[in-house]
Amino acid sequence: MKTEQLLEEIRDANLTYLLLAQHLIRADKPQALFRLGVSEHVADIIEALSTGQLLKIAGTNMLMCQFRFDDEIVWNLLTSHSEDRSRNMMSGVRAAMLMSDQLAEAA
Amino acid sequence: MAGKSVIDDAREVRRATELVELGARLQVLETETKLSRERLLRLYKEVKGKSPPKGLLPFSTDWFVTWMPNIHASLFMSIYSNLIKSSELDDVDAITKAYRLYLEHCGTHDMEVVLSMTRAWRLVKFVDAGMLRRCPCTRCAVRFVMRSDDLANQFVCGLCNVPSRAGKTNAARAEREQRDELVVH
């Protein structure tokens, strides 16, 4: 019972993720590449998927989305929160810059 | 003008409209679109409901290396170079898309928008012309905008080495006082 529930949750998450990805890519591809952190090649494949194919992919026992950063620095920056507003601003900026630079290097 | 494509023309107008909406000055439009000055003027008035501001564009690289503008400029440049690297985009389209993403960042992080569209465009031109470049900070390795003729081997960015009076503007003080007042009452 418990596994079944888990599988269902995974399927839901997959489906939501894939649909969102497809939506983003169709609306504005360059922006979607930035937001999703995938290559243009992968984006083309996701864009072309039919609803049936989406459902099939979503129904596996693995999550289709993955955490984007192995980097401890980025995680720390994203989770840090302080009372000082300018500190928050600075860690936000640094995290955003690290993320988009890493993305560009991988592409 | 014989032989001019209507579709191309429509594309130019759309592009110009987008630029005006984002706050670009007339000089930016003149450089980046093929439309005549008269049409651009009319378009500007139509979109903004007023005449474009007169005068020269800011032409110095100094502004981009002062503390707060530098952070914003560097953020914009890292979004911009990401877009340029990951998809094939025209310069103008990449600038407008990057600028929208930059505005989004400011919105979600509750930050004041420091970099205007015209400044962002100028920044990209400066980098293309080799007057400014992106250079990794020696402490945090994040790449920041700096002057091309400044030394890079000891460069420490504005986030690692925050100047003592940074962020202590009148606006910031007023806001802090307002918040403290809220706490008291």
pLDDT digits (tens, 9 = 90+) for A9-54: 999 999 999 999 999 999 999 999 999 988 899 999 999 999 999 9
* Least confident span in B86-95, B109-118, B142-151, B174-183: B174-183
- pLDDT tens-digit readout, B3-55: 678 998 999 999 999 999 999 999 999 999 989 999 999 999 999 998 888 88
Q: Identify which of B87, B100, B159 has the shortest CB distance to residue A94.
A: B159
Burial A30-63 (b: 16+ CB within 10 A, else e): bbbbbbbbbeeeebeebeeeeeeebeebbeeeee
Residue the block writes with tokens 């988009």: A100
* Strand residues in B29-180 grouped as ranges (E): 132-136, 143-147
The whole-angstrom separation of Cα B36 and Cα B79 is 31
CA distance B135 to A27: 33
Q: Which amino acid is at B159?
A: L
Q: Check A28 against B97: CB less than 8 A apart.
A: yes
Gap between the Cα atoms of B41 and A54, Å rounded: 48
| B89 touches A: beta carbon within 8 Å | yes
Residue B86 at interface with chain A, using a CB cutoff of 8 Å = yes
What's the token pair of residue A104? 């560009």
Does residue B70 contact residue B64 with C-beta atoms inside 8 Å?
yes
Contact B64, B132 (CB under 8 A): yes
- Using a CB–CB cutoff of 8 Å, tell me whether B110 touches chain A: yes
Q: What is the DSSP letter of B146?
A: E
Beta bridge partners of B133: B146
Give the nearest partner residue to B86 out of A90, A97, A104, using CB atoms: A104
Q: Where are the alpha helices (DSSP H) in B22-53?
A: 26-32, 37-48
Question: Quick one: tokens of A90?
Answer: 């600075």
Measured in angstroms, the CA of A34 and the nearest CA of chain B are apart by 7
A98 touches B at CB < 8 Å: yes
Reported as half-sphere exposure (CB side, CA atoms, 13 A), residue B182 has a value of 6
Per CB-CB distance under 8 Å, the chain A contacts of B169 are none
| Residue A97: CB atoms within 10 Å | 27
ipTM computed for the complex: 0.81
Round the average pLDDT of chain A to a whole number and report it: 86
Q: Please report residues of B whose CB lies closer than 8 A to that of A82.
A: none
For the segment B89-106, the average pLDDT, to the nearest whole number, is 93
Count chain A–chain B contacts defined by CB atoms under 8 A: 77
Q: Which residues have C-beta within 8 Å of that of residue B79, sequence separation ≥ 6?
A: A34, A96, A100, B98, B101, B102, B105
B71 touching chain A per CB within 8 A = yes
